[in-house]
Structure 1
């Protein structure tokens, strides 16, 4: 079952670095949404992959 994990970012560079890291770790681009107005990254993932996404968010200082 897939769920969304949302994270808040503070700059476009931070969001791009997170995007690159997520895609590099094998998350399909269609599962990643960045809202620049709200400064939120939403990642649709299976529940068992949540820990990996949290680690990527932590690495880049994104709060969730």
Structure 2
């Protein structure tokens, strides 16, 4: 089963850095969706990598994870 995790960030730089980190650990680009207007990053991930995705997003100090 797949989950969508969304991180809302204060700055676009933080959002882009989080995306770069996700890509560097092998999360496919097709599973990442940036919304520059809302400064949010959505990640579609299987449950097996949900914890890792949450840890990476948290490193970049999102305002909110949902």
Q: Aligned ranges for residues 44-63 of structure 1 at < 5 Å?
A: 44-62=44-62, 63=64
Give the equivalent residue in structure 1 for 2:36: 36
Gaps of 5+ in 1: none
Alignment RMSD (CA, Å)? 0.9
The alignment's TM-score, normalised by the length of structure 1, stands at: 0.92
Residue ranges of structure 2 left out of the alignment (5+ in a row) = none
Determine the C-alpha separation between the residues in 2 that align with 1:38 and 1:57: 16
1:29 CA drift (Å): 0.4
Q: CA deviation at 1:31?
A: 0.3
Give the Cα separation in 2 of the matches to 1:48 and 1:2: 9
**Segments ≥4 residues shifted beyond 4 Å:** none
TM-score by length of 2: 0.90
Q: SS at the partner of 2:7? A: strand
Aligned length: 64
